[in-house]
Amino acid sequence: MSRDLKTKLAELYSENAVAKILRTATVLLENNSHGAELATIRDSLEALGRTWSDPLHGQARRHDIHDLGFMIQPHMRARWELYHDTEAFETVKVAAESLLGDSTLPLARSARGTTSTGLRA
């Protein structure tokens, strides 16, 4: 990978888990003359990603958490954009609807964080 591309990628991504994974993979693939099968590596990474994100499907219907913005949406969006995974797309929609709550009161349908009262919107 050229130095210019590394610089651009460093500017594009902040220090987060995805950037760290890509940086580690880049370093390990540089000057790698073993000719590793790229498809095998991709399959392994995809399987690992699914192992982590598959349980998030079940979290989408919960009303007592607010994982949509920092867990469900980022992972399911990538699955939708990379693999056109319709289950991932539906999970994001269900999580958004669950976040709004199931009440018909307009005030209760506003997005909310967790509260110490234990009350659900």
Instruction: Report the distance separating Cα 112 and Cα 91, nearest Å.
Output: 19
Which residues have C-beta within 8 Å of that of residue 6, sequence separation ≥ 6?
26
What tens digit of pLDDT does each residue of 63-97 get? 766 667 778 888 899 899 989 999 999 999 988 88
Residue 29 neighbours by CB distance under 10 Å: 13
pLDDT along the chain (121 residues), means of 10: 73 65 78 71 88 86 71 87 92 85 51 44 42
| pLDDT at res. 53 | 86
